[in-house]
Amino acid sequence: MQTTPQRCHPQAVSLTCIHSPRVRAPTEIGPAFAQHYYTTFDSNRAALQTLYKDASLLTFEQEQFMGMQSIMTKLTVRERAARIKD
């Protein structure tokens, strides 16, 4: 039985999803993910929303943020306000 390959997320071009013919080694995936995350973090934080789900947990400076909405509020609104105060 042949299965139809599933399409990867459009922003995951450099990461190769698990349904692709070539599964990459963790030593390739980790650096590619980190590069994607921090490039996006610096240029368009709102686009990071696609990486978080309702079960995601972010711990930042001993404070925890549960779920995509809470995490995105931390990464966008709160961080911008902190910079303005400095």
Confidence (pTM): 0.60
pLDDT tens across 62-81, in order?
A: 999 999 999 999 999 865 54
Output the pLDDT for position 24. 77
Residue written as tokens 């943020």? 65
Please count the CA atoms within 13 angstroms of the CA of 26 that sit on its side-chain side: 0
Cα 20 from Cα 4, distance rounded (Å): 10
Across the chain, which has 86 residues, the per-10-residue mean pLDDT values are: 48 51 80 93 94 95 95 82 50
Domain extents for the chain?
A: 1-43, 49-86
